[in-house]
Amino acid sequence: MNNVSQHLLSGALSGFASTIILQPFDLLKTRIQQPDHLRKLSHSPLSPQSTFIFRTARDIVQRDGFLGLWRGTSPSLLRNVPGVALYFTGLSQFRSFLATSPYFTPLRASSPSQSTSTLPKLTAQGNLLAGAFTRVTVGLLLNPFSVIKARYESSYYSYGSLPQAFIGLIRSGPSEIFRGAIASSLRDAPYAGIFVVFYEHIKTSLSSAMSAAPNSAVVAAVPFSLSTAVHSLSAASAGALATLATQPFDVLKTKMQVRSESKYRGLWSTVRAVWQQRGVAGFFDGSTLRMSRKIFSSAIGWAVYEGVLIAVRRPSRELD
């Protein structure tokens, strides 16, 4: 299996695993971001967001059963499996390209004993550029799937089937096909850039700390389980930081993709509408759900991705 095939396989498995496990978080996040106002029940001690989340989850389970929380899984898989595969593959290829430049190559490379990654090493600037460029490119390519995914998860649309949804979207023209693309790019570029920078930094720090530990000989005896723990913890931490920094753009993207009113047709008109209706708090609707999902999806996704790469490449190294 060649290098590109390895990354495509690892990325596809990563996208599949995280989507199946975490779809309810995406569904509830879309539902909490779609209305103009969140109403607090007078008898509830919880915040409006928490009240809305629990009430929405309860209503979905009562109406559609427990599996109703996985509504929109099919379009999510259609977007995330190829999307994550293309992202990880493109990220690796672009990082390999940047690694040929002295400007993006770290002055001091980590030793093999301290490295738990099979990916190219770059400076912070290189990681920022690679993450942002690759994420935006893949996001623009798959934006139609993102629109369908958001509308499937929304309660404002009732599609009978995926073909019906795609036919309806295509008939609406380019303006609908690329609805929310600018907001998505403004969210994805800083998210991916910040994520890769922190992920690589935290991963390198953890690997170095564990290698320097007194029981490093014991640690070295279980490299695969160690690397999985390092990748999961590093990705979860990086995902939390990047999510918090980009939450407002996620709200804007969802509003633009699921609402049909004229005030949600453009980016700045959407910003103005959210500000007038909810103030600053409106730009952080669904932040708890998105934060939870991103932490888990990052931990699962990157651990699966790098773990599969290590497992696939290990037999060939043992044969050398």
pTM of the model: 0.80
Predicted local distance difference test score (pLDDT) of residue 226: 75
* Contacts (Cβ under 8 Å, ≥6 apart) of 260: 156
Ranges of beta strands (E only) in the chain are none
Q: Give a yes or no: residue 298 inside a domain.
A: no
Predicted local distance difference test score (pLDDT) of residue 41: 44
d(CA 186, CA 284): 15
314 φ, ψ (degrees, to nearest 5)? -65, -45
Helix (H, G, I), strand (E, B) or coil at 222: coil
Predicted local distance difference test score (pLDDT) of residue 81: 94
Q: Give a yes or no: residue 239 inside a domain.
A: yes
Predicted local distance difference test score (pLDDT) of residue 30: 86
Q: Are 82 and 58 in contact (CB under 8 A)?
A: no
| Residue type (1 letter), 93 | Q
In angstroms, the Cα distances linking 243 to 14, 199, 222, 246, 297 are: 19, 13, 32, 5, 12
Q: Give a yes or no: residue 123 inside a domain.
A: no
Q: Classify residue 93 as exposed, middle or buried by CB count within 10 Å of its CB (0-12, 13-18, 19+).
A: middle
Q: Give a yes or no: residue 300 inside a domain.
A: no
Structure letter (DSSP) for residue 158 = -
d(CA 31, CA 26): 9
Q: CA angle at residue 172 from 152 to 176, to 5 degrees?
A: 65
- The phi-psi region of residue 180 (left if phi > 0; otherwise alpha if psi is between -120 and 50; otherwise beta) is left
- Structural domain range at position 273: 186-211+223-284
Structure letter (DSSP) for residue 70 = G
pLDDT tens for the chain, 320 residues: list them: 568 888 899 999 999 999 999 999 999 888 888 877 655 544 444 456 677 788 889 999 999 899 999 998 998 999 999 999 999 999 999 999 999 988 888 766 555 445 556 677 889 999 999 999 999 999 999 999 999 988 888 878 877 788 888 888 888 888 888 988 998 999 999 999 999 999 999 988 887 777 665 555 444 444 567 778 888 999 999 999 999 999 999 999 989 988 888 899 889 999 999 999 989 988 988 888 889 989 999 999 898 888 888 787 765 555 44
Q: Give a yes or no: residue 145 inside a domain.
A: no
d(CA 226, CA 232): 10
The DSSP H or E segment spanning 240 is helix 223-258
In angstroms, the Cα distances linking 28 to 106, 208, 274, 278 are: 41, 39, 19, 19
Predicted local distance difference test score (pLDDT) of residue 82: 94
Convert the pLDDT of each residue in 129-157 to its tens digit.
999 999 999 999 999 999 998 888 887 88
Convert the pLDDT of each residue in 74-115 to its tens digit.
989 999 999 999 999 999 999 999 999 888 887 665 554 455
Predicted local distance difference test score (pLDDT) of residue 45: 47
Q: Residue 310 CB: number of other CB atoms within 10 A?
A: 19
Tokens 């303006």 belong to residue: 175
Q: Give a yes or no: residue 279 inside a domain.
A: yes
d(CA 305, CA 320): 23
Predicted local distance difference test score (pLDDT) of residue 315: 57
- Number of structural domains in the chain: 1
Tokens of 130: 């690679």
Q: Give a yes or no: residue 206 inside a domain.
A: yes
Q: Give a yes or no: residue 40 inside a domain.
A: no
Nearest to 93, CA basis, from 23, 221, 6: 6
